[in-house]
Amino acid sequence: MHLTTNPPLTTLLLFPLLSLLLPPTTSLPTTTTNTTHWHTLPPIPSLPRQEHTTVYHAPSSTLYILGGIIPTNDTTLVPPVDTASILQAYNLETQTWTEPATLARIPRALNHINAAVVGGKVWVVGGLAEDGDGGEGRVWRGVKDVYVYAPESDVWETLNSSSSPFPTPRGSAAVGTYNSIIYLAGGLTALAFTPPTQNSSKIVSAFNTSSQAWIDLPPLARTLPEERDHAASAVIGSKFYILGGRAFGQENVKDTVFVLDFEDLEKGWRVSEARMPTARGGVAAGVVGKKVYTFGGEGNRGSESGVFDQVEVFDVEGESWEKVEGGMRVPRHGTFAVGVEGRVYVPGGGVRQGGAPVMDFDVFVP
């Protein structure tokens, strides 16, 4: 069972300008999964969520989910979702959620947020915001905003961008942190609905949280080998991994792994010889030890839902892939996974290509 609120799921499945125009159904396809890996957790309260970002705040043992898209009854909006400014928290020790109205909202409603935890604070470094009207002129466009959230005081701070503006505002970037610097690789500068247009980027940007300024990268580090958005990412040791993703549209999915060594930026990016077994975008990833577990995604032409159920693991030591038997308990895309102490937490996401937000929340145990 998938947990949703009004409007009903059959309405949410009519997400034509962002999806493949898949025929709506009253029930979702089922898949055989290896349930020994999966454990169901309390669902996200009140509102289904998709295209959000999840981060882990270790001092408070808390997962934060930021922004994203939520269902709406506003018939003027196409597709029928709103961009959210909601911040919610899940405490891993008490296994409880905060309600949407409990915590201070993000200063601006954003989806596809670029976020990270550095120095005990949650940093939001751009994302996509509503632009244009709710009909044919609707666009989600990259913003230059940088916000900092202090969990202990529940206060957001908006940084002054005039002295160090965001070089290429965008959302849906692959995010990595190293030595107080937040790196954004690729992303979307804009997503238009009519005509369907997705402007993918290969730019790599770096924000120093200590100086609160953007910094220049060496020439070979400042661009990816190709444009990417909706990719999975991980930092293990000093290396930044960009796994899969897509470019210029849902079905243009990729199976590449790009690698950057933060201790040797001058050398730039390299393309690993180990390709993902299943090319996919909108894929989530969580780190356990020296392995990156990847979950779900969209762009699946072989599935009526357009969603992948695959779970595949990348071993960074040997740079090799292995498939995990059974796949996801609830196949979805547009979610965000976080690895904590040997477990990977996966809240929300969409169960059809384009949009169909759900409240489902589960944890994967290798």
Cα 202 from Cα 146, distance rounded (Å): 20
More confident residue, 283 or 196: 283
The sheet that has 270-271: what strands, in order across it? Answer: 232-236, 239-243, 257-261, 270-271
Would you say residue 100 has pLDDT above 90? Answer: no
Q: Answer whether residue 284 shows pLDDT above 60.
A: yes
| The predicted structure's pLDDT at residue 3 | 54
The reported pLDDT for the residue numbered 75 is: 80
d(CA 230, CA 298): 10
pLDDT band at residue 30 under the 50/70/90 scheme: very low
Over residues 222-232, the pLDDT tens digits come to: 999 999 999 99
Report pLDDT for 5: 44
341: pLDDT strictly greater than 80:
yes
For 289-303, write each residue's pLDDT tens digit. Answer: 999 999 999 999 999
- In this prediction, residue 21 carries a pLDDT of 30
Among residues 148, 160, 312, 174, the alpha carbon closest in space to that of 240 is found at: 174
pLDDT at 76: 81
Exposed, middle or buried, 155 (CB in 10 Å: 0-12/13-18/19+)? exposed
**Residues 308-324 pLDDT 10s:** 999 999 999 999 999 99
**For residue 118, pLDDT beyond 80:** yes
Q: Are 38 and 44 in contact (CB under 8 A)?
A: no
Cα 332 from Cα 183, distance rounded (Å): 26
Q: Cα 355 to the chain's mean position, in Å?
A: 14
Please report which confidence band the pLDDT of residue 64 belongs to, taking 50, 70 and 90 as the band edges: very high
Task: State whether the Cα torsion 327-330-334-340 is positive or negative.
Answer: negative
Task: Among 39-48, 129-138, 163-172, name the one with the lowest average pLDDT.
Answer: 129-138
**Position 6 pLDDT exceeds 90:** no
Q: What distance in Å separates the CA atoms of residue 269 and residue 271, rounded to the nearest whole number?
A: 7
For domain 9-364, give the CATH number.
2.120.10.80
Whole-model pTM: value is 0.90
Q: How confident is the model at residue 249 (pLDDT cuts 50, 70, 90)?
A: very high
User: For position 104, what pLDDT does the model report?
Assistant: 98
Q: Where are the domains of the chain?
A: 9-364
